[in-house]
Amino acid sequence: MTEKTEGKSQGPRTLFEKVWDAHVVRPETPETPAVLYVDLHLMHEVTSPQAFSTLRERGVKVRRPDRTLATTDHSTPTLPRLPDGRWPFFDAQNAAQVAQIEQNAKDFGIELHGLGDPQQGVVHVFGPEMGATQPGMTVVCGDSHTATHGAFGALAFGIGTSEVGHVLATQCLLQRKARSLAIRVEGSLAKGVSAKDLVLAIIAQIGVGGGTGHVMEFVGPAVRGLTMEGRMTLCNMAIEGGARAGLVAPDDATFQWLAGKPRAPKGAAWDAAVAQWRKLPSDAGARYDREVTVDVSRLEPMITFGTNPAQGIPVTGVIPDPAAAKDAAARATLEGALRYMALAPGKPILGQKVDVVFVGSCTNGRLEDLREAARVMKGRKVRTRTLVVAGSHAVKKAAEAEGLDRIFKDAGAEWREPGCSMCLAMNGDMLQPGQYCVSTSNRNFEGRQGPGGRTLLASPATAAAAAVSGAVADPRRLVEG
């Protein structure tokens, strides 16, 4: 057992404990939570306006504008700027929300990479690209997918708007330390199986509430073998398993990815930082509060059929039968999901008609994801409406430099401007009621992509396979080796 002295862990420590310990301003007691210091506060337009209102009401300034970094992504259009210089916002509310963060950034001295800025992008794509997210940091944002940044060995978690205000005012949060959960990934991923398939399989195993109260650390050789993009996809969806945060220990892949990014340390400071970062991985003998093992040696591409991210099956699988559910509550949940999705139990998911395909989001909107989708779409024509939305302008530019945009456009897909887009349909990119969408995003909740819309979550390759097939398809049959 680890014993706590003044809030610090003793003996062999996990990555989580090391990062936690290094940020405790005031240890937790039975009476009060810990005061935890925040290194990086990322911000977007949806969850910040009311926090600035609180600061104004109380006459409080932003304590550390230099530790605050903002972009716009949720309410922004994914169509290009109009010839007259205006942005084609879906409605006046979207425009007002974007205008509000521009005003707030100006009034409080915060660096904003908004519309028109070459760095603008989905906040969890943009932060790492800026080199702002670094190993060992604490990173927060008023957004549940802040878990993404855990891919760098940063303790990163989503907060509400009240807490956004707390961080703006004090650079700190009141926090009770979460429990630790090791997700041990055994075996290696087969060809054609991606990080998205892995995380959908993990969530299917532990359930959408399985990680509640925990910080998940993903360990094992299959995790080490993932690229940084893959690790971001994995950590991004830790929240869909209910976890507070996801973590992957930093290694050479992390350092190589970060080197040279705008906010990464340079020269001697870089060497010193890497030396510190190498001390972050969990010590041999460190204890986790819980451990779960996931064997991925036979994992296939995954897809969801229901209305929560744990309702996933192999793409070659059949839709589960509620009659076989373990109890009445599980049966009711499954029945409700199938009713909403209008899918019949016992039927294969392969061949299910698809109306729309969305490739993008903070889960799968990075260059590697677009390459995967392009590999499948190359030389083929899409048979559904297909939106391809790069996660950021940097991703878009890099994709265009290697000709991915041509592949998408030649296939008949829409190559759009960066943003959250159809992941949560706030900006007008949305499904019509009843439509089926294979989406590379993170949530298949009822109406998430538009009221009445039906979402099937999958990897970029599986989404692209659906686009060119007009139905759920196995991407492994469409690409060679």
Binder to another protein among 25, 323, 324, 401 (CB under 8 A)? 25
Nearer to another protein, 31 or 252 (CB): 31
- Work out the number of other CB atoms within 10 angstroms of the CB of residue 222: 24
Binder to another protein among 329, 379, 480, 481 (CB under 8 A)? 329
State the number of CA atoms in the 13 A half-sphere of 11 facing the CB.
9
Q: Is 274 in the site for another protein (CB under 8 A)?
A: no
CA dist., res. 422 & res. 355, Å (int): 14
Q: Are 169 and 55 in contact (CB under 8 A)?
A: yes
Letters for 408-447 (x = contact with another protein by CB under 8 A, - = none) are ----------------xxx------x---------x-xxx
CA dist., res. 418 & res. 388, Å (int): 9
Residue 250 carries which side chain, given as an amino acid letter?
Answer: P
CA dist., res. 22 & res. 228, Å (int): 24
CA dist., res. 379 & res. 219, Å (int): 38
Stretch that binds another protein, among 118-126, 160-168, 192-200, 410-418 (CB under 8 A): 160-168
Nearer to another protein, 270 or 445 (CB): 445
CA dist., res. 277 & res. 281, Å (int): 8
Q: Are 395 and 406 in contact (CB under 8 A)?
A: no
Letters for 201-240 (x = contact with another protein by CB under 8 A, - = none) are -------xx--xx-------------------------xx
Q: Is 171 in the site for another protein (CB under 8 A)?
A: yes
Cα dist from 476 to 52, 239, 387, 461, whole Å = 49, 28, 21, 8
Minimum gap (Å) between residue 467 Cβ and another protein: 24
Minimum gap (Å) between residue 166 Cβ and another protein: 5
Minimum gap (Å) between residue 89 Cβ and another protein: 10
Nearer to another protein, 79 or 253 (CB): 79
Stretch that binds another protein, among 155-163, 269-277, 375-383, 402-410 (CB under 8 A): 155-163
Q: Is 333 in the site for another protein (CB under 8 A)?
A: yes
Q: Is 54 in the site for another protein (CB under 8 A)?
A: yes
Binder to another protein among 2, 53, 119, 205 (CB under 8 A)? 53
CA dist., res. 85 & res. 80, Å (int): 10
Binder to another protein among 4, 8, 60, 131 (CB under 8 A)? 60
Where does residue 72 rank: exposed (0-12), middle (13-18), buried (19+ CB within 10 A)?
buried
Nearer to another protein, 34 or 223 (CB): 34
Which residues are paired to 9 by β-bridges? 4
Nearer to another protein, 215 or 461 (CB): 215
Q: Are 157 and 245 in contact (CB under 8 A)?
A: yes
Nearer to another protein, 206 or 464 (CB): 206
Q: Count the residues of the shown chain that bind another protein, applying the rule CB under 8 A.
A: 69
Listed in sequence order, the residues at least 6 apart from 319 whose beta carbon sits closer than 8 Å to its beta carbon are 305, 313, 338, 343, 344, 345, 346, 347, 348, 349
Minimum gap (Å) between residue 448 Cβ and another protein: 5
Binder to another protein among 96, 323, 324, 344 (CB under 8 A)? 96
CA dist., res. 479 & res. 463, Å (int): 13
Q: Is 401 in the site for another protein (CB under 8 A)?
A: no
Beta strands in 179-334 (DSSP E): 179-186, 214-219, 245-247, 290-295, 302-304, 312-314
Q: Is 7 in the site for another protein (CB under 8 A)?
A: no
Residues of the shown chain interacting with another protein in the complex, contacts defined by CB under 8 A = 25-26, 30-33, 35, 37, 46-47, 49-50, 53-54, 58, 60, 63, 74-75, 91, 93-94, 96-97, 100, 142-144, 158-163, 165-166, 169-174, 176, 178, 208-209, 212-213, 239-240, 242, 244, 308, 329-330, 332-333, 336, 424-426, 433, 443, 445-448, 451-452
